[in-house]
Amino acid sequence: MDATAGKATGRPMTGKARHRTLAYPPVQHQGVDWASIMKRQHTIHGMIELDVTETRRAIHRQRHATGEPLSFTALLVTSFAHVIGDDPSLQSYRKGKYKVIEFEDVDVAVLVEHILEGERVPVPHIVRAANRKTPAEVDREIRSAQGDDDPYGRARRFAGLWLALPAIFRRFALTRLLADPHRRKKYTGTAAVTALSMFGKGTGWGIPFVSHSICLTVGGMSRRPGLAPDGNVEPREMVCLTISVDHDVVNGAPLARFISRFRKSVESASLLD
| DSSP symbols for 26-48 | TTHHHHHHHHHHHTTS-EEEEEE
Q: Which helix (H) or strand (E) holds 95?
A: strand 93-95
* Nearest-5° Cα angle at 150, 70 to 241: 40
CA distance 116 to 261: 39
pLDDT in tens, 247-262: 999 988 899 999 999 9
pLDDT in tens, 176-218: 888 899 999 999 999 999 886 545 677 788 888 788 999 999 9
| Sequence letter at residue 68 | E
The dihedral formed by the CA atoms of 209, 258, 242 and 229, expressed in degrees to the nearest 10: -170
Q: Which CATH fold would you assign to the domain 43-148+181-272?
A: Chloramphenicol Acetyltransferase (3.30.559)
210 three-state secondary structure: coil
CB atoms within 10 A of CB 148: 13
Listed by start position, the domains of the chain span 43-148+181-272
State the helix-helix crossing angle for 53-66 and 72-85, rounded to 10 degrees.
110
pLDDT in tens, 145-181: 877 666 566 666 777 788 888 889 998 988 888 889 9
